[in-house]
Structure 1
Amino acid sequence: MSSPLSELLQDRQLAEQLLSESQTRGFITAMAAAPHLINPSEWLAFMWGGEETSPFASHEELETYANAIVEIWNQTREALLTGTWQWPEGCALDDKELVSEATREFSEGMLQGWQLARDDWETLMPEDSEDNALLGGVLLCFSLLYDPENALEALSQEGADGLAQFEEIFQSVPTMICGLTLRAQALVEAQE
């Protein structure tokens, strides 16, 4: 994954203060899927823990970082709306750990980002609505992928072949998140 974001994260000092690349991509995916567009200026600081002061040594570094974030957001938003979104490079299942570290971190970033748009989602897809099941399904998938050990145990307790179910969950995420984004877009347009 050689990108401006990867290059910035090679700086050890910055890497310690910023979300990892996979967490960042998960967070951005949550923002790109959000039903109402949230300006990156409103959430960019979450990439470094919400602190008022950025960890960058210069304005140019901050600008490079912000541009990389916006570029990833644009690509992700387009992929979600065209139904072509796929797991980022490095996200995969793992024989020993169930999921790769990148998958776990992506899922963590996704769940963190979802918190920022939570009110919009809950307003658009209230608890008693049919659409809420789709939203709940997507969130459940990311929760399971973030904590695969407990997920596998829970699936086994339900009598399911945990590993097979896990693979199915992982494989279904791209279709589910694209579907959720498209459904949210349609609901928002219907309200306008």
Structure 2
Amino acid sequence: MAQSLKEFIANHSLEDHLLSDMQTRGFVTSMAAAPHLIDPAEWLAFMWGGEETSPFDTHEMLEEYANIIVAIWNQEREKLLSNTWVWPDGCALDDEEIVTNDTRLFCEGLLQGWTLARDDWETLMPEESEDNALMGGVLLSITLMFDPESALTAVEEQGAIELAQFEEIFSAMPTMLCGLTMRAAQRIQEAEE
């Protein structure tokens, strides 16, 4: 059985050289949700900070890592397009911190990945389109989950978001992210016909 991403990172002592397991999962999920396929060769280096030289000792290690990443991409893409995606294990709400650290890291990776596909999203769902609100809602929700304390402080005066609403947003994220991915795939298909 192939080792998991977390095991691979730990077994090769790469914690200080690669994005964490959750950041990577967020980033790869963002790439899987992107409207157009972006070749992993174009974004794999982001996993180690965009440096030209990878942190792997051998080509075999790099290949094993790339295979793990592509397997995650395939799995996430299938789940997103079949409306079965759920938060990864470890991502949850937290009574004291609002969300778990895993949730923050996952959302950080999602936001980082989104920046790579941003032009594709904005071209497909421009500001004046009906789909733009869906895209904006997903991005706002991810941002709120990434930094809930700042969000609460910023909107406390208007009473726009209460702590209880984070539970609603967290619970709705899978449906929203799947919906956005499926809508983008539909738009791409319509454009190709």
1:121 equivalent in alignment to 2:139: no
- 1:26/1:108 contact within 8 Å kept: yes
Aligned position for 1:22: 22
- Secondary structure of the equivalent of 1:14? coil
CA distance in 2, matches of 1:162, 1:191: 40
CA distance in 1, matches of 2:134, 2:45: 29
From the two aligned structures, give the one with the greater helix fraction. 1
Q: Deviations over 1:90-121 (max 9, x none)?
A: 00001111110000000000000000000000
CA distance in 1, matches of 2:76, 2:166: 24
- Structure 2: unaligned runs, 5 residues or longer: none
Aligned position for 2:178: 178
CA distance in 2, matches of 1:130, 1:3: 42
- 1:85/1:178 contact within 8 Å kept: yes
1:149 Cα shift?
0.3
CA distance in 2, matches of 1:71, 1:37: 15
CA distance in 2, matches of 1:97, 1:168: 16
Aligned position for 1:33: 33
The letter for the 2-side match of 1:79 is K
Cα distance 1:3–1:160, how it changes in 2: closer, same or farther (>3 A)? Answer: farther
Aligned position for 1:93: 93
- Secondary structure of the equivalent of 1:157? coil
1:42 equivalent in alignment to 2:42: yes
- Structure 1: unaligned runs, 5 residues or longer: none
Aligned pairs, how many?
A: 191
CA distance in 1, matches of 2:11, 2:188: 40
- 1:4/1:64 contact within 8 Å kept: no
CA distance in 2, matches of 1:71, 1:12: 19
- Aligned runs of 1:1-192 on 2, under 5 Å? 3-11=3-11, 13-160=13-160, 162-192=162-192
CA distance in 1, matches of 2:190, 2:26: 28
1:4 Cα shift?
2.5
More divergent stretch after superposition (11-20 vs 171-180): 11-20
CA distance in 2, matches of 1:52, 1:63: 16
The letter for the 2-side match of 1:86 is V
Cα distance 1:36–1:177, how it changes in 2: closer, same or farther (>3 A)? Answer: same
Q: What TM-score results when the alignment is normalised by the length of structure 1?
A: 0.95
CA distance in 2, matches of 1:158, 1:26: 31
CA RMSD of aligned residues (A): 1.4
1:126 Cα shift?
0.3
1:59 Cα shift?
1.1
- Identity between Structure 1 and Structure 2 (%): 65
